[in-house]
Chains A and B, each alone.
Chain A
């Protein structure tokens, strides 16, 4: 096919449009929480690169997750997992899954659950310390359906492209809740591998989600897993990775996680007013418009890291800053700072870090 014909085909299939990549932070450029976290394996969460969640279960294996300056040509960063404690005795219920969650309202283009259901192609660049094989599952959380495929890893960067057929059963909800989860199974016990792997869309069958021949990421402390250039798009073809500006990716990520502070020992988070003699109510606005929903507030967990500055005095907080459901929604957040007293009711005040450069406030609206 000539280049002109290829271009015409792309335009006709609508895959040449911008924003064709439904995945978030695919180039691994945004890492608001941290660039490196050690000892992961006891509980699930978002640790380093935004929008990529690690969910371990029941394993003694531990790993370090980093945003690393490595990647194939054109990529400055990747996600790196490094096994630091092996687990070669795999119990039935164990797993380690790297996931990205998607809102249903972002996936209506898939036409899932209709006779016109579209194929979807997941592509990414990957490498490891040695040859390995893992499974990627698409899980439809609205209809409890799934489909899986395997992919191989070598010691050099290579691009994986996996096309999943359209599913004519089970429409995705047009809302801001979880509809689809891309699960990369990196370690799985027999509860998830003892059946014949489901390579067509079907109602979830627990034993058919991964493959008993897959590599266990926790098989050796030599094991590593690098990934970048994640793209999820409509159609049967993995088109070139859709790079986007840092600011656009950051704004997309801030729909789910927004972090402020860590920019000076007395960082000013917000201006507020004293409510009585011991508390200060503040309002903080989301810079990226609407978060996905009403957010949770994350802090350092140490009250003394925060303070209220009022009438030329720094009043250390006596309890950890807290979200106030009244007056909080998806684009402005009412946060209460509390001290042991000394405030003048009605006075203006500032909510600040208390001589601590690591104190932060973060707002979570993850799926």
Chain B
């Protein structure tokens, strides 16, 4: 309904113990965010929406 967020530099971050993806680090409307992989999280919902529409690709973790 409203504007899409401007998301850049999206990249997964790893859990230092398990080595599994545990967050998405990105610049979201100009703010530096670390977004949890949580279904009800507003930023996660927007990231996944943009991934689904092909607007955004999340880079693998280092």
Contact = CB atoms under 8 A, between A and B. Distances in A.
A255 to B, nearest CB: 13
B57 interface: no
B40 A328 contact: no
A367 B40 CA distance: 9
Given A43-B29, A322-B25, A366-B42, A296 B34 contact: yes
Nearest to B16: A279
B10 interface: no
A90 to B, nearest CB: 16
Given A44-B29, A176-B40, A293-B40, A323 B6 contact: no
B38 to A, nearest CB: 4
Interface string B4-41: 01100000010111101011010101111111111011
A294 interface: yes
Given A44-B29, A281-B16, A324-B23, A293 B38 contact: yes
Contacts of A276: 16
B36 A295 contact: yes
A279 B19 CA distance: 12
Contacts of B22: 322-326
Interface of B: 2-3, 5-6, 13, 15-18, 20, 22-23, 25, 27, 29-38, 40-44
Interface of A: 43-45, 55-57, 97, 176-177, 275-276, 278-279, 281, 293-301, 320-326, 328, 336, 338, 364-367
6 contacts: A43-B6, A55-B3, A297-B33, A301-B27, A322-B23, A325-B38
